[in-house]
Amino acid sequence: MNKAIGFSKDRGRVFKLLSRQSQHYVNNKHDKISKLLVIIQTMIMIKSPIKDLDPTKAKEKYPEARVIVLDDSFNTFQHVANCLLKIIPRMSEKRAWDLTRKVDNSGSAEVWRGNLEQAELYHEQLVIKGLTMAPIEKI
């Protein structure tokens, strides 16, 4: 049922499909409560608006951000690299060490870029581990 509603733009076809499925369900179930539930579900689905997602609008709702680690005098190379490995998805050991060296040499390094919500999560987890972090930068 959900596939028909999600992808169909023609309410008439959706109604026919739901009617056929509801009738089949009612014929196979003999109690009145089951029949009533099917009718209510059908009415809710028919009255629900059918919307196609616009990729440009979906992108606007989810801004991107950068997670940046800052250099400090108290975190060791090993600790920074281990935190990056554990928290940042798809982080290789080589990349974690390269980023750790970059933090030490240049004072900061972007360790992750992507969805703002995920950036906030990774930022918070790295702060909890004791890393010195720049504020999240929205892109």
Instruction: Compare 33 and 23 and report the one with higher pLDDT.
Output: 33
Do 43 and 68 lie in one domain? The reply is no
Asked whether residue 17 is assigned to any structural domain, the reply reads: yes
Instruction: Supply the pLDDT for residue 94.
Output: 97
Mean pLDDT of 55-70: 80
Do 77 and 134 lie in one domain? The reply is yes
Asked whether residue 110 is assigned to any structural domain, the reply reads: yes
Instruction: Supply the pLDDT for residue 90.
Output: 95
Q: Is the dihedral of CA 23, 27, 28, 32 positive or negative?
A: positive
Weakest-pLDDT range from 12-26, 47-61, 62-76, 82-96: 12-26
In the chain, how many domains are there? 2
Q: Report d(CA 14, CA 3) in Å as an integer.
A: 10
Give the domain extent around 118. 59-138
- C-alpha distances in angstroms, 96 versus 43, 84, 102? 54, 6, 10
Mean of per-residue pLDDT scores for the chain: 80
Do 92 and 43 lie in one domain? The reply is no
Task: Judge whether 41 and 52 are in contact, CB under 8 Å.
Answer: no
Do 34 and 66 lie in one domain? The reply is no
pTM score, whole prediction:
0.58
Instruction: Supply the pLDDT for residue 39.
Output: 74
pLDDT digits (tens, 9 = 90+) for 106-135: 999 999 999 999 999 999 999 999 999 999
